[in-house]
Structure 1
């Protein structure tokens, strides 16, 4: 057959006025449908109340880690859609990690983890990941059970959507259920006028799908009769047999994807039909049929995806640019492009509480790893979902898939995956909507990281178009003073902030026209501009049901182990707290001396100095306008003179003294505007040391609290804002100890090692190191990584 196709390599967009309906749709798709999806890895599949859920998130733009977002919201809901907890996660190269500490009194039920970026809220809420997490509690009056009944329904899908007279057609049969699917099922195809003679039979590939082929005859009606392994049956009708239309047939190989078209009783045959292939909402292939003919075929080479795996959405359009047929197909299903970890050494033992290690190559192209090591109990349970199935299937397809990870396992059946894709739809966009010109309403480009709107008020009035000073103190770092001018609405904006410690924001104003600055009746609020979005949809149905618990509630081995592990952790924490308390009792030092050592450096040390401690002592400074006014008459040799702005300037023995704020040179106007509540210490240095006569002001750090505020009314010109949630540290320690107070009799940990950011440092081999529990004889090791080109490394093996 002559090659009547051509591949369009589009480097520029044609003018809109000259574009056809389909070309406009493709331009619309390219410009407006960039989308993200999320995969959440948790250290376990089920938890006990009181446990800690460790999670790692991966955000993808197509099949690459997303550069679009730097913020991810991860939320924990109960079955009644009540928000239990939520985290704001910092994304670096599309990756971020965190944890939830579960309360010990959480009722036993199914919980849901929802994850999304602010950018994802531009699109359908159904595109956001919702992960099912069963949480058990032995004290709950209800208990979770896996549903024993399988209430399923079946559908039959002809390849390409057409069922045409005399054309051999491949069908996919798909089972769907709100609870669980039967282990095995089979079926037969009958003609309704002759039901006793099966035309063909089929057996399920897995719980989800089966396939068969049939050549229909016009005027006949066909049915599929499906029966599961428990004897339950269902009869469904196949589509009506048409006398005209387009038949699409697709097959995938290592060379590429071959498609064949057959036109039956078409007016212009296949002339001017277009074939469009998209990968991740982007045009990957486009061809036109330029001649009159009823049959055509071609091979789409794997170079359209640079040889990478993924789903190609093939769509066929007629001469009027109407969508006629579509089909999803997987690129190179038998040749997954997934790298394996390069392990250069391992030291694994079965001895209880023994030290174990696995060394990864420092010369690998992969530098940052996510690693999870668990006790493998030889149950041979496989993960129902993993990063491969999320990346290539569930993140983009419309319906619920049972055990999607099986399609990318070592024993995967490429025929089953192909049948599954015949039965599925691409949920990221609908061709008919795009053809009609529909576009998502995208919010204005959000700021990178976090942004806040600060609203200062003076005497309950907005301070519009006014100079204000903001004191920003992050955690235990030194505060910074920044001058801003409010806009016409009275707001100041703090944009593109990345922090994971509490950020204290204080507002104050400078003096004007020679008057003393007055910071009374100042109030400040800070509103985050990037906020979580309420969940409006419905959670997915699950295989679990809640029933009334019996008097002797039986726990699964995994949950019993988790509860015992919690008891061990509490015992160790209790002993550590007692030891710390004993150590603190033995320490008795001068608090003012300790404060001076904490805040000042050697350059500001002097034997001839006077120190005022605002942290440990009440200095009765609440009634003073500013710290310079308060200092008058409090230190021998220190006097003050007012400058042209009416601000007190310090003098020591007749000479103007130097002024320092946190040991940085400053002037009296800045010091006079500083709220006294923010001051931790004042040091008067007289004619000695390295800096001469000076007044040094030190501001609060960390969790310091001024004694001056204990009796004074708290002012409202301070607001504390929360940034990104810092992940907790997963401790790598052995429970084996000679200390009888710390003796743990039964180490039952399931998660032995969790590190969402194991990295290569100075060519030192990245080492996975952990201690065994009391029973593990083999270890399940999961390793995930991406190189600079977003090639994926995925290792999920059992080590002995």
Structure 2
């Protein structure tokens, strides 16, 4: 009987344990499913026409927005933000593009004031801000300045008599040393200036700056006047001057287990943060060689190595530059778990869990293959021996980065490993047929595109696809030009991996396959998106940044002159283009208001009007100006170059010659370079209480109290002083049409002939608004121009009652309007021709759409320069299959 009772108790205990285990598994799966449904992963890729530009030129781009691992075109966000970030990490330009069915086309003109250097071009949606900036689209482009700058630098360090110096050589584009002058310099650590001074250029065109503890490795800013009397600025990164080669070791799955075969990956890095070839030796007890391997050109490799308990291991790296480095191997654990993944099979993924002897306890272990809450495969086995094997077919899961998690009975991870799976069904081949084998100058090139469904041919699957194409002449960029970013690397790798990835497009072959071993070595040495299983219950918190279906205008209303919110105030957003066009909303209990799902072009002004529940306008209005996402300088820091003008001299000079033609033909704005004039007189000060709806001082002309001290009437003071304004019968008349202007006195619209009755001693400022940029905000009142008068505070206090209350003028950033890419045509009857065709981008075609049969075509003309032309076509079809094709052809 006692034996039966014990057996029954054991069965009850086991049943309870299994029930609890099943409940925990079910709960975890439910949380993950909810997370995956409520937090879809949005990703962006941007194709640009090229990667090297000069100031004054235009970056042409196309955006692709997709959802999740299936990469289907996104209908989640309708707004995308594109930003240009200078070498110092400042956002110098931003565009907002409307996404239609997941795509957008745009351009960004590069201001002549940009400093030469490596710039980051990044793109993201508001929804993507809920995750790390590491997962934004970002590529580094080099921008030179040979228009207003034309000075090249070569920077390095030297040591003289035990003292280190920064040495910067300055010369013009012809190589002649810059004449003697003074150079001002600053070293910055973030926003803080840590060192500054001035140095003379020597006879060889160099300056030397002492290296000290304050400026070592900091960002250097140079400022000087070039021989053309133009102010020039340079930015130079100095931290790579003081670094050395390094080697890092990464155990597979993060753990090394004693008395077991462990795979270890290595990454060899040069001072610039890029990979360097190295031969690596793993030494046992500093003498015996346990393993030897050699890295690839990107500095990565991995090797299986049996590690004995009680033995110490070191790693010796012999770098390609003949330097060496020795490090200790990460700690070897006597108890725990490790994982070994084998993807050499074309059909299956194999994963072996290695378990130390003390952990062989016959408990359940789970194998989970997942990505951000989406579980693609789950299996379980008992920990009945030291090695437990799992497998899954590659065709059962999508293409991309996924995580293998080995979980214990409580569904908590024991060990994790990121992998890349290639599903051949996601490959979409593209065939390009050209009408000739080679072409001459100014020849028409016809391209016929066909998508190949492969095994899906003959099914009901449509082959509609959105594509974009760029064509350049490799002669201007060098035969070895590599495109380091592609749609494959953006959506398959960068959107899921953290940190810097050198040449991400390198891992994808032209035929749609991948460099399996090298890609796996990359994943072993890289951080990735993953779920914090210990905080599983908090996964479904409300995201901070909402999905944007359009632009938003948000703000707060408070009781006049107080901090208390104006709860339930009625708020209107009024377009200054049409005062009958407005939107209504009601502020919440905190005084917060929002206008959502707006679409308006850039440079549009609005009025925000508010009144309290009693209909009174005694309200202060605050507008929440949107702030951009933080800049992650570490992500692509190794790609930031110094001395860009010198490195890309030929391309920049060629671009300058071409764009001078565009300016002469009126196809782009002509840039007039003038000598800088330092103005010491300050802009007239306008009182803060000015009722100018554009903001105090934002006017075509400002007259202050100092200008009005010698007149008996205001009309007498203003007559002859106001540009574009004449007085007739005491009324101000706009010389544009000889029409009567509107006078605004302390916010009150008054008759224009009232000027003669105003005491000039009571006036603080007069603002003249004639330009449409200033008058449009006044609607019909601004049609003929306005004169805005502000009285002195306290001199005429009663007039303060006329100040507009419950009204605020704003100019939020709107959708950027698309410009047309200029395409020369050399047909006989065409007037779209250049006298000398030296195009930098031969062609840009962002709007290619295939038909139901997967076919499309486009054409363009070659330029006046021979050489090898390269065409890059990227895009995706309606099923989310990515497309990339690169072809070269000759122009003779």
TM exceeding 0.5: yes
Q: Distance in 1 between matches of 2:843 and 2:80?
A: 24
Deviation at 1:522, TM superposition (A): 11
Quote the residue 1:709 is aligned against: 785
Q: Which SS does the other structure have where 2:405 is aligned? A: strand
Q: Distance in 2 between matches of 1:158 and 1:251?
A: 15
Q: Distance in 2 between matches of 1:260 and 1:548?
A: 49
Q: Which SS does the other structure have where 2:785 is aligned? A: helix
Q: Over residues 348-393 of structure 1, what are the superposed CA-to-partner deviations in whole Å (9 max), with x where a residue is unaligned?
A: 7532222323133599713422221112336032212212112222
Quote the residue 1:381 is aligned against: 481
* Aligned partner of 1:170 among 250, 257, 263: 263
Task: State whether residues 451 and 528 of structure 1, in contact with CA within 8 Å, keep that contact through their aligned partners in structure 2.
Answer: no
Q: Distance in 2 between matches of 1:268 and 1:22?
A: 25
- Cα distance change of structure 1 residues 325 and 539 upon mapping to structure 2, 3 Å threshold: closer
Superposed counterparts of 1:380-779, under 5 Å:
380-410=480-510, 412-426=514-528, 428-435=529-536, 437=538, 442-443=543-544, 445-453=546-554, 472=575, 480=581, 493-500=594-601, 502-505=603-606, 527=623, 531-535=627-631, 540-546=636-642, 556-573=649-666, 616=737, 618=739, 707-710=783-786, 720-734=811-825, 744-745=835-836, 747-759=837-849, 766-779=856-869
Quote the residue 1:654 is aligned against: none
Q: Distance in 2 between matches of 1:786 and 1:133?
A: 24
Q: Distance in 1 between matches of 2:33 and 2:644?
A: 56
Superposed counterparts of 1:339-378, under 5 Å:
339-343=428-432, 346=435, 350-361=439-450, 365-377=463-475
Quote the residue 2:799 is aligned against: none
Quote the residue 1:77 is aligned against: 85
Quote the residue 1:133 is aligned against: 141
Q: Distance in 2 between matches of 1:148 and 1:507?
A: 53
Deviation at 1:278, TM superposition (A): 0.9
Q: Distance in 2 between matches of 1:702 and 1:355?
A: 52
Q: Which SS does the other structure have where 1:393 is aligned? A: helix
Task: State whether residues 337 and 415 of structure 2, in contact with CA within 8 Å, keep that contact through their aligned partners in structure 1.
Answer: yes
Please tell me the root mean square deviation across aligned C-alpha atoms, in Å: 4.8
Task: State whether residues 268 and 300 of structure 2, in contact with CA within 8 Å, keep that contact through their aligned partners in structure 1.
Answer: yes
TM-score normalised by L of structure 2: 0.64
Quote the residue 1:695 is aligned against: none
Deviation at 1:292, TM superposition (A): 3.2
Deviation at 1:618, TM superposition (A): 2.0
Quote the residue 2:405 is aligned against: 315
Superposed counterparts of 1:206-285, under 5 Å:
206-252=297-343, 253-285=345-377
Deviation at 1:156, TM superposition (A): 2.1
Equivalent pairs counted in the alignment come to 666
Q: Distance in 1 between matches of 2:119 and 2:783?
A: 44
- Cα distance change of structure 1 residues 412 and 709 upon mapping to structure 2, 3 Å threshold: same
Quote the residue 1:788 is aligned against: 878
Question: Is it true that 1:58 corresponds to 2:64 in the alignment?
Answer: yes
Quote the residue 1:44 is aligned against: 50
- Cα distance change of structure 1 residues 218 and 762 upon mapping to structure 2, 3 Å threshold: closer
Structure 1 gaps, min length 5 = 1-13, 578-612, 631-676, 681-698
Task: State whether residues 579 and 779 of structure 2, in contact with CA within 8 Å, keep that contact through their aligned partners in structure 1.
Answer: no
- Cα distance change of structure 1 residues 47 and 336 upon mapping to structure 2, 3 Å threshold: farther
Q: Over residues 628-672 of structure 1, what are the superposed CA-to-partner deviations in whole Å (9 max), with x where a residue is unaligned?
A: x99xxxxxxxxxxxxxxxxxxxxxxxxxxxxxxxxxxxxxxxxxx
Question: Is it true that 1:328 corresponds to 2:418 in the alignment?
Answer: yes
- Cα distance change of structure 1 residues 707 and 125 upon mapping to structure 2, 3 Å threshold: closer
* Aligned partner of 1:143 among 130, 153, 160: 153
Task: State whether residues 135 and 497 of structure 2, in contact with CA within 8 Å, keep that contact through their aligned partners in structure 1.
Answer: no
Quote the residue 2:128 is aligned against: 120
Deviation at 1:545, TM superposition (A): 4.9
Q: Over residues 273-320 of structure 1, what are the superposed CA-to-partner deviations in whole Å (9 max), with x where a residue is unaligned?
A: 111111344222222224734433232123442xx3112211112335
Q: Distance in 2 between matches of 1:290 and 1:186?
A: 40
TM-score normalised by L of structure 1: 0.71
Task: State whether residues 250 and 524 of structure 2, in contact with CA within 8 Å, keep that contact through their aligned partners in structure 1.
Answer: yes
- Cα distance change of structure 1 residues 271 and 523 upon mapping to structure 2, 3 Å threshold: closer
Quote the residue 1:595 is aligned against: none
Deviation at 1:91, TM superposition (A): 2.0
Task: State whether residues 825 and 832 of structure 2, in contact with CA within 8 Å, keep that contact through their aligned partners in structure 1.
Answer: no
Q: Distance in 2 between matches of 1:149 and 1:774?
A: 46
Task: State whether residues 36 and 372 of structure 2, in contact with CA within 8 Å, keep that contact through their aligned partners in structure 1.
Answer: no
Deviation at 1:223, TM superposition (A): 2.4
Q: Distance in 2 between matches of 1:324 and 1:464?
A: 52
Q: Over residues 614-635 of structure 1, what are the superposed CA-to-partner deviations in whole Å (9 max), with x where a residue is unaligned?
A: 99562667799xxxx99xxxxx
